[in-house]
A and B are shown apart, each in its own frame.
Chain A
Amino acid sequence: MGLNRDQIAKRIARELKDGMYVNLGIGVPTLVANNVPDDIEIVLQSENGMLGIGPFPTEEEVDADLINAGKQTVTLRQGGSYFDSALSFGMIRAGKVDLTVLGAMEVSDQGDIANWKVPGKMVKGMGGAMDLVASAKNIIVAMMHTDKEGNSKLLKQCSLPITGLKCVKRVVTDLGFFEITENGFLLKEYAPGVTIEDIKAKTEGRLEIAADVKEMEF
């Protein structure tokens, strides 16, 4: 029941528009790159200093000096460019990146996001996430709807240390596609095999059901 990681990525890819500069976070967001519709062209920005991330290299092409922000070896597309970390975050801060997709541990119904630390247990660090969420006009979060114990990760208030306030616009979970409005999470599409009642039961934050809610198509 619910979407797998690849389906979450596939649904997010439908939000891409031709000509967008896009920053994809580590994990499920990275999979969005495999699902770009054929009729549009986007450019992927990597915060370690490149525009125009291409596919993984062949064995012969592997270059230790050419990696993405997830430290994976990649290639550069034609028309791409390299730059340093300061300029990379300069373009992010200046709002040049059109869309940011990132993972989260928790999202609140006001669009707050937490994804860098579980006090006392785990510290990954915020990396570029705090910069991205503070400046991006357009943020989509890819995440699981509940934790392993079944507790909602779509909350009234984030319980974990915050990464950014009131910044998330859309959320795609294994259960559905949501917009964040003044009234909280707005369910626009539910995953195949999932009921609206399931989603209500698993969403702790304020939840509205869109008048035109429908099943997600694949």
Chain B
Amino acid sequence: MGFNKVVQNAEEAIKDIQDGAVIMLGGFGLCGIPENCINALVKQGTKDLTCISNNAGVDDFGIGLMLKTKQVKKMVSSYVGENAEFERQLLSGELEVELIPQGTLATRCLAAAYGMPAIFTPAGVGTEVAEGKEVRNFNGKDYLMEMAFEADFSIVKAWKGDSAGNIIFNKTARNFNEVMAKAGKITIVEVEELVPLGELDPNAIHVPGIYVHRIFQGTDYEKRIEQRTVSQ
């Protein structure tokens, strides 16, 4: 009743994601990825997914797990990086991949979040990325028209959240999670800490609950580090 958006767990949160759905997944590299929901999607076996996510995890963690099980039809990403399985599926043509500039990716989410149909960006002018896109000149500089994303679900990971769906991110785990949380038709949030209503400082909330549809307390976070660099 009312504004209680809490669901039991990841399985419940993602159970109505159908084969062929378009989903956004937050995170940068492995930082701030929705680990619980990804694992639940692997378990559920949902197929033919279009995944909008900056990266595709690594071979044995994050979205890499869904690539291995061939659940992903298409990736929309900015960086393949060091994910060998992703690069292999891309080069062999098994996986459809749309590589787009990282800022374009973020801003197409932003457009969806702000109710704007399209944005203009100079990124990609004169490159493969510009093929088939409208170019507009403003004040002597060329810009590409890029459309707002239309995703069925946004799946993000936050640090703290409450039952009304207000959420706060931690440090650089904020990355794509904030903007994607605002961009989905249905937004699913897993949090490290689900706190009682009233405990979050309203001044500090990164995404107000109006954007969030389901929230749950995540478990067993691995929070894997890709490049563990330390000073002596």
Contact = CB atoms under 8 A, between A and B. Distances in A.
B229 to A, nearest CB: 4
A124 B30 CA distance: 16
B91 interface: yes
B180 to A, nearest CB: 9
Contact of B231 (A47, A50, A56, A127): A56
A130 interface: yes
A71 B123 contact: no
B76 to A, nearest CB: 11
Contacts of A59: 230
B107 interface: yes
A84 interface: yes
B12 interface: no
Interface stretch (B43-51, B95-103, B195-203): B95-103
* Consensus secondary structure, chain A interface: loop
Interface stretch (B13-21, B62-70, B171-179, B209-217): B171-179
A124 B128 CA distance: 15
B230 A131 contact: no
Contacts of B99: 116, 123, 125-126
The 4 A-B residue pairs with the shortest CB-CB distance, nearest first, are A89-B103, A131-B103, A84-B178, A134-B122
29 contacts: A49-B174, A50-B172, A55-B231, A59-B230, A62-B228, A65-B159, A65-B223, A67-B31, A67-B172, A67-B225, A71-B29, A73-B225, A76-B171, A84-B175, A84-B176, A84-B179, A89-B106, A93-B121, A116-B99, A125-B80, A125-B99, A126-B100, A126-B101, A126-B102, A128-B101, A130-B101, A130-B129, A131-B101, A134-B121
Interface of A: 46-50, 55-59, 62-74, 76, 82-86, 88-90, 92-93, 116, 120-131, 134-135, 161-165
